[in-house]
Chains A and B, each alone.
Chain A
């Protein structure tokens, strides 16, 4: 191997040392040890690559929020279970159709009470939420998306949630009523779930005074404002943490 051939190989040798055991570099490395000119060229090449690498890595550093956002999404996104795979979903849809047709004759009036709504929504965000329709840290973008879906883009955020980054949002349906869910990133890797529904869709909605409840390990606070009813649910949270969000 002449020096030109050795240079071609050695310029791909990384200064971090992870290529040290790669046999394709061995012969060229040995040649660099024997030839002072090649050794000098190689040392310059390694120093150059080392500095470029350091500058490049530092120029491509992620903003501080990226890590917390990645950790927060873990609280929401869960593996797709087998019964949610397409084939099983098709079978389930067929079964659901049969049950629906059968049940339509005996269908009771759907529950519209606020207590039932809060209970089911808290249980859903605490234990069943597996994905979001939109992932975004930008609450403005979330609002715009909700507005496009003719949902609750004009919701009024409580002061404590204003300024916090969102994780994303999802549209839900509760007994035929549209519910907007927006998830917010909190400290300590917690997530707050804000649920918004038209006030007229429910009976016995709370007033503008917040009502605190804990359902198993899910803390909630609920209130109404304007034509909407709001619930914040946070798994593992407590009343004192929820107060900060109002």
Chain B
């Protein structure tokens, strides 16, 4: 029959329409359709039926650990009364060299006697150019630069606000642990492993197996931790 295809299609639309409202009503009684993390996590998943719109900015989807947006610098947890602690960055320059759009500028620190100091004097990232590729954190040998999850960086002034300096970039280690608990734990394990095997010569007749990272930790790291 001519027009049957259209009617069938309409039935599908009606089904979605009804499902959406059933879902809305169902979650209304369980903490509300809006501002309800549990509802969001179910309705956005494979189990979700009907259609849902996440009402950004009131509602936000959680970001996974590997999410990457504009980098930040990791420092030690700050001593009381200070904003941040000792820089992990040694100003080795790998991030500046590998950065595809070349948005990182580093001024290497100098000791009074003129020799290089393993700490950056200045560190700038032009976030207008940054393409969020994550190479800097991927190839940093000291875990000193990490990708942030804060994606709300719009501002009225492009010329000054979008060049992040060292003060703006530095964030304490506790912030990173909060952001990516699994990944930061894996990184700590990898660093410890590296420190424990460092300096020990491997002999060929040594049968004791080399200590390796656990599988869960490997899964959380870039290249399964092969870069450490």
Are A and B bound to each other?
no
Q: What residues make up the interface of B, taking CB atoms closer than 8 Å to A?
A: none
Q: What residues make up the interface of A, taking CB atoms closer than 8 Å to B?
A: none
